């Protein structure tokens, strides 16, 4: 099986708040560790990417974030401007069009067009050449796709747009679609959580992607998986925490004001969350027929380089295990 | 003193819940409406995209855009009694848009032209963009019909809070006649008539843009706006009225969020914008707050800051004397829970002192189970309103 990191472009999708930015960053670092030159592209959430890598900001111009990883920010309006400029060639005219109220309204109501132009721009990164040699500038482009909150989001846009448009825009849409469908070049990654709504949406995403769009899902990540504390066999917690040893260590940990009932309830809740994680992972695996790569919950108050390393290491392990 | 949220539900006519996606906004909206019904009001909750199971349990699983009364027998089954009545509605963006067109288009030919227009279909079907406005539109419709004492509106999970508050104004701008005149008429009429110098210049622009986008798209777009002739005024007046409703003293906003950095950041932005637009922000609800099992967690917090987590855990495990992997695991789970609770606490405090300063803030603990039915909503209500309803 072709490893997911051996593609030229990875599109990372998922609802807002599932940790898409973290997983994108970890995949980029992982590929870079394998000796690749990687470009990580954000359309939003660039602040979080910057925080993860410990840099000040992500700019439109690619800049290094870590060994082998560069970051770039896509500004839809700027990308649209460049796209239209390439077609019309008259800068003043293009500025006039782009700054008009109507264009603004149209640009907002037809998200297909805005995001498709951006998707095209992301793809064009894979065709960038290094200045002196004719080799590709990036071995891999990881695209942290914007959260759409609904269904397939970005991935279905070219298909939609190619139905509606004609002329160069249609040509563009068709090209972008062909690029997305080429499994040799493009990989799709979906990030989800062990919760009711995200799991159902992931199942829906998979159905639509493999059915209607005729594409494949290459990597399914369940982020924030709760650990199985007792390897599937939870002991009698009342007894455990009520024993002399249990009481002593509880007091050491939580002080004399510790309410044992509450402590038992807290451990129970944690066990229940672990059970739910495994139940949802099973549901996902059965529903999609795919491996579910679980990334454990990271207990941290602020996500930075250290947490990113942990996630990267887990992904490395799971990806190796899967292939 | 009575509960501020109860007061809100008793006195207002419209409560709008806003916040980012995935924070339990729909569930919170439904719970507010339920509570209002228990308080004796005739309340309706208008939801955008409820989880299937919640929709089914409210009885709106199959029905888009229709107000449905939640069967009073379900209340009894959930162990509560309602003096008022609870209704629910699942917003269908396209149908709401279609109805708007029907209302303002007397001529059936023109109506057909709009409804069949490709651009219209694309625009009314795209969830992003028009759903903001259509939620407002539905709210206005329900408010005008006057069948309910209270309308609770669950808003679309817009990334940009501003979009939603400005939806009416934006809609108005999109239908601004002068914009249309400059950019659309000549496009559609090029080749049919000769213009003056400006017309010819515009003609060239149009030709270029046509080459770029494809004529059929431009034609569709032009047809769309032409079919809208005469509707602009109606649309714009309506947008103004919706805007006025948002600022009405009977309308108030509740920001719903979760204690993670991203939702809090977006909630903060929302609070700021509501103030800027001089709209009434009445309460903030923070869902899924991790609980500490300590009466006074500050001591542990201080020790965690000083000694770090690993050291604390080691010391606690050592205190047990004999090594017991089960006990180690239980202590590990507890410590992790305390860390989560600590993080949530600190972020909520910062939020309370910052963006939510001066606003009633209610925390709801994280439940061990997903909420998807009426008894779940009753449980949530118990946490949201201080005492059991």
pLDDT tens column, A62-108: 999 999 999 999 988 788 778 777 766 667 767 776 676 656 666 66
What is the chain A residue with the closest CA to B220?
A: A164
Q: Residue B208 and residue A255: Cβ atoms within 8 Å?
A: no
Paired sense of beta strands B14-18 and A292-296, if any: unpaired
- Residue B381 Cα, gap to closest chain A Cα (Å): 20
A295 forms bridges with which residues in the sheet?
none
CA distances from A58 to A75, A246, B45, B265 (A): 11, 49, 41, 19
Say if CB B136 and CB B242 are below 8 A apart: yes
What is the chain B residue with the closest CA to A247?
A: B320
What is the chain B residue with the closest CA to A250?
A: B316
Distance CA A323, CA A304 (A): 29
Distance CA A86, CA B183 (A): 21
Q: Residue A235 and residue B52: Cβ atoms within 8 Å?
A: no
Q: Residue A106 and residue B221: Cβ atoms within 8 Å?
A: yes
More confident of the two residues B236 and A136:
A136
In this structure, of A166-175, B131-140, B203-212, B287-296, the range with the lowest mean pLDDT score is B203-212
Hey, is the C-beta of A229 within 8 angstroms of any chain B C-beta? yes
Tokens of B321: 């004397």
Which residues in chain A are contacts of B129 at CB distance < 8 A?
108-111
Which residues in chain B are contacts of A229 at CB distance < 8 A?
329-330, 332-333
The DSSP symbol for A67 reads T
Which residues in chain A are contacts of B226 at CB distance < 8 A?
none
Which residues in chain A are contacts of B205 at CB distance < 8 A?
93, 97
Q: What is the pLDDT of residue A283?
A: 97
Within chain A, which residues score under 70 in pLDDT? Answer: 1-2, 87-90, 93, 97-98, 100-113, 148-151, 163-169, 257, 321-323
Q: What is the pLDDT of residue B158?
A: 62
Distance CA A200, CA A205 (A): 9
- Residue B333 Cα, gap to closest chain A Cα (Å): 6
Q: What is the pLDDT of residue B177?
A: 54
What is the chain A residue with the closest CA to B117?
A: A164
Say if CB B165 and CB B246 are below 8 A apart: yes
Q: Residue A252 and residue B173: Cβ atoms within 8 Å?
A: no
Nearest to B263 among A17, A149, A249 (CB): A17
Tokens of B169: 């104004």
Angle in degrees, CA B5, B8, B9, rounded to 5: 90
Q: Write b or e for each residue in B314-328: b if 16 or more Cβ atoms lie within 10 A of its Cβ, otherwise e.
A: eebbebbeeebebbb
Hey, is the C-beta of B296 within 8 angstroms of any chain A C-beta? yes
User: In the structure, what pLDDT confidence band is assigned to residue B35 with cuts at 50, 70 and 90?
Assistant: very high
pLDDT tens, position by position, B97-153: 888 788 877 788 888 888 887 767 766 665 445 667 778 888 999 999 999 999 999
Nearest to B295 among A88, A251, A257 (CB): A257
pLDDT tens, position by position, B362-378: 999 998 777 778 888 99
| A282, burial (CB in 10 Å: exposed 0-12, middle 13-18, buried 19+) | exposed
The DSSP symbol for B190 reads B
Q: What is the pLDDT of residue B227?
A: 65
Q: Does the structure show a pLDDT above 60 at B33?
A: yes
- Residue B302 Cα, gap to closest chain A Cα (Å): 12
- Residue B291 Cα, gap to closest chain A Cα (Å): 8
Helix then strand then coil, % of chain B, to nearest 5? 60, 15, 30
Which residues in chain A are contacts of B336 at CB distance < 8 A?
270, 299
Nearest to A248 among B49, B179, B320 (CB): B320
User: In the structure, what pLDDT confidence band is assigned to residue B323 with cuts at 50, 70 and 90?
Assistant: confident
Closest C-alpha among A254, A249, A180 to residue A213: A180
Rg of the Cα atoms in chain B: 26
Distance CA A206, CA A218 (A): 10
Q: What is the pLDDT of residue B125?
A: 62
Q: What is the pLDDT of residue B94?
A: 79
What is the chain A residue with the closest CA to B368?
A: A269
The B residues from 298 to 327 touching A (CB cutoff 8 Å) are 299-300, 309, 312-313, 315-322, 324, 326-327
Q: Does the structure show a pLDDT above 50 at B305?
A: yes
Q: Residue B209 and residue A88: Cβ atoms within 8 Å?
A: yes
Closest C-alpha among A149, A139, A146, A78 to residue A107: A78
Helix then strand then coil, % of chain A, to nearest 5? 55, 15, 30
Q: Residue B130 and residue A106: Cβ atoms within 8 Å?
A: no
Which residues in chain B are contacts of A251 at CB distance < 8 A?
319
Hey, is the C-beta of B164 within 8 angstroms of any chain A C-beta? no
Rg of the Cα atoms in chain A: 23
User: In the structure, what pLDDT confidence band is assigned to residue B190 with cuts at 50, 70 and 90?
Assistant: very low
Q: Residue B300 and residue A254: Cβ atoms within 8 Å?
A: yes
Hey, is the C-beta of A102 within 8 angstroms of any chain B C-beta? yes
Hey, is the C-beta of A112 within 8 angstroms of any chain B C-beta? yes
Spatial neighbors of A73 by CB under 8 A, at least 6 apart, are A41, A42, A43, A46, A58, A59, A60
- Residue B260 Cα, gap to closest chain A Cα (Å): 9
The B residues from 54 to 113 touching A (CB cutoff 8 Å) are none
What is the chain A residue with the closest CA to B342?
A: A301
Hey, is the C-beta of A174 within 8 angstroms of any chain B C-beta? no
Q: What is the pLDDT of residue A72?
A: 95
Q: What is the pLDDT of residue B90?
A: 87
Residue A230 main-chain phi, psi, to 5 deg = -115, 30
User: In the structure, what pLDDT confidence band is assigned to residue B248 with cuts at 50, 70 and 90?
Assistant: very high
What is the chain B residue with the closest CA to A146?
A: B159
Please tell me whether residue A58 adopts helix, strand or coil conformation: coil
Handedness of CA A113, A116, A122, A124 (dihedral sign): negative
Q: Which residue has the tokens 């059929």?
A: B216
The A residues from 291 to 310 touching B (CB cutoff 8 Å) are 299, 301-302
**Terminal C-alpha separation, chain B:** 16
The whole-number average pLDDT for the span B62-69 is 81
Q: Write b or e for each residue in B42-57: b if 16 or more Cβ atoms lie within 10 A of its Cβ, otherwise e.
A: ebbbbbbbbbebbbeb
More confident of the two residues B236 and A78:
A78
User: In the structure, what pLDDT confidence band is assigned to residue B188 with cuts at 50, 70 and 90?
Assistant: very low
Distance CA A290, CA A304 (A): 30
Q: Residue A97 and residue B205: Cβ atoms within 8 Å?
A: yes
Percent of chain B with pLDDT over 90: 30
CA distances from B349 to A269, B263, B270, B345, B361 (A): 24, 15, 17, 6, 10
Tokens of B356: 């939510």
Q: Residue B22 and residue A17: Cβ atoms within 8 Å?
A: yes
The B residues from 206 to 235 touching A (CB cutoff 8 Å) are 208-217, 221
Q: What is the pLDDT of residue B228?
A: 65
**ipTM for this model:** 0.80
Please tell me whether residue A3 adopts helix, strand or coil conformation: coil
Closest C-alpha among A255, A179, A168, A249 to residue A215: A179
| B305, burial (CB in 10 Å: exposed 0-12, middle 13-18, buried 19+) | exposed
Q: Residue A87 and residue B211: Cβ atoms within 8 Å?
A: yes
Phi/psi region, residue B257 (left: phi>0; alpha: psi -120 to 50; beta: rest), is: beta
Distance CA A133, CA B82 (A): 75
Q: What is the pLDDT of residue A149?
A: 53
- pTM recorded for the entire structure: 0.83
B88 forms bridges with which residues in the sheet?
B45, B68
Angle in degrees, CA A159, A165, A168, rounded to 5: 100
Q: What is the pLDDT of residue B338?
A: 87
**Terminal C-alpha separation, chain A:** 7
Q: Residue B118 and residue A164: Cβ atoms within 8 Å?
A: yes
Polymer length of chain A: 323
Q: Residue A17 and residue B339: Cβ atoms within 8 Å?
A: no
Q: Does the structure show a pLDDT above 50 at B197?
A: no
Please tell me whether residue A29 adopts helix, strand or coil conformation: helix
Distance CA B309, CA A226 (A): 18
């Amino acid at each position: 099986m072709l490893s997911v990191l051996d593609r030229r472009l990875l599109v990372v999708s998922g609802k807002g708040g599932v940790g898409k930015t973290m997983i994108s960053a970890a995949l980029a670092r992982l590929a870079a560790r394998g000796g690749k030159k990687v470009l990580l592209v954000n359309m939003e959430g660039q602040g979080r990417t910057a925080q993860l890598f410990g840099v000040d900001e992500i700019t439109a111009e690619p800049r290094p974030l870590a060994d082998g990883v560069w970051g770039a920010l896509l500004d839809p309006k700027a990308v649209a401007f460049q796209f239209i400029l390439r077609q019309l060639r008259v800068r003043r005219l293009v500025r006039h069009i782009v700054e008009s109220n109507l264009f603004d309204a149209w640009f907002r109501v037809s998200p297909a067009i805005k995001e498709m132009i951006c998707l095209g721009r992301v793809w064009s990164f894979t065709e960038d050449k290094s200045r002196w040699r004719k080799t590709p500038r990036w071995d891999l482009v990881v695209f942290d796709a914007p959260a759409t909150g609904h269904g397939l989001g970005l991935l279905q846009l070219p298909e939609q747009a190619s139905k509606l448009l004609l002329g160069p825009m249609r040509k563009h849409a068709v090209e972008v679609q062909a690029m997305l469908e080429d499994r040799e070049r493009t990989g799709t990654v979906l990030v989800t959580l062990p919760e009711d709504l995200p799991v159902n949406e992931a199942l829906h995403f998979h159905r639509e992607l493999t059915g209607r769009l005729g594409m494949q899902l290459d990597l399914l990540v369940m982020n924030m998986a709760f650990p199985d504390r007792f390897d599937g066999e939870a002991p009698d917690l009342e007894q455990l925490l009520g024993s002399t040893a249990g009481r002593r260590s509880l007091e050491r940990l939580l002080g004399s004001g510790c309410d044992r009932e509450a402590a038992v309830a807290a451990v129970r809740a944690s066990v229940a969350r672990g059970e739910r994680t495994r139940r949802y992972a099973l549901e996902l695996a059965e529903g999609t027929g795919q491996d579910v790569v679980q990334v454990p919950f990271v207990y941290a108050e602020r996500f930075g380089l250290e947490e990113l390393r942990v996630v990267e290491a887990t992904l490395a392990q799971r990806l190796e295990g899967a292939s | 003193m009575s509960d501020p949220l109860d007061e809100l539900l008793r006195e207002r006519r419209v409560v709008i819940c806003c916040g980012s996606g995935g924070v339990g906004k729909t569930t919170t909206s439904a719970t507010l409406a339920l509570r209002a019904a228990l308080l004796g009001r005739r309340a309706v909750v208008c939801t955008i995209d409820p989880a299937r199971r919640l929709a089914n349990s409210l009885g709106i699983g199959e029905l888009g855009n229709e107000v449905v009364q939640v069967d009073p027998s379900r209340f009894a089954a959930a162990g509560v009694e309602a003096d008022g009545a609870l209704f629910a509605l699942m917003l269908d963006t396209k149908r709401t848009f279609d109805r708007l067109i029907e209302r303002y288009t007397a001529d059936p030919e023109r109506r057909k032209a709009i409804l069949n227009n490709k651009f219209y279909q694309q625009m009314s079907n795209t969830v992003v963009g028009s759903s903001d406005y259509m939620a407002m539109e539905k709210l206005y419709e329900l408010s005008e019909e006057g069948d309910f004492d209270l309308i609770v509106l669950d808003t679309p999970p817009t990334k940009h809070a501003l979009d939603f508050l400005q939806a009416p104004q934006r809609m108005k701008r999109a239908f601004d006649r002068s914009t249309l005149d400059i950019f659309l008429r000549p496009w559609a009429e090029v080749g049919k008539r000769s213009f003056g110098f400006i017309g010819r210049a515009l003609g060239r622009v149009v030709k270029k843009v046509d080459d770029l986008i494809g004529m059929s798209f431009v034609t569709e777009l032009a047809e769309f706006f032409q079919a809208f002739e005469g509707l602009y005024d109606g649309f714009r007046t309506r947008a103004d009225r919706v805007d006025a409703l948002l600022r009405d003293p009977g309308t108030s906003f509740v920001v719903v969020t979760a204690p993670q950095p991203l939702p809090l950041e977006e909630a903060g932005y929302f609070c700021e914008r509501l103030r800027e637009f001089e709209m009434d922000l009445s309460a903030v609800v923070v869902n899924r707050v991790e609980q500490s099992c300590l009466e006074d967690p500050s001591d542990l917090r201080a020790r965690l800051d000083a000694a770090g987590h690993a050291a604390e855990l080691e010391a606690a495990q050592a205190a047990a004397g004999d090594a017991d992997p089960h006990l180690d695991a239980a202590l590990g789970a507890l410590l992790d829970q305390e860390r989560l609770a600590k993080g949530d606490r600190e972020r909520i405090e910062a939020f309370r002192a910052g963006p939510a300063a001066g606003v009633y803030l209610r925390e709801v603990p994280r439940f061990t189970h997903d909420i998807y039915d009426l008894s779940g909503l009753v449980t949530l209500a118990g946490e949201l309103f201080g005492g059991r309803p």
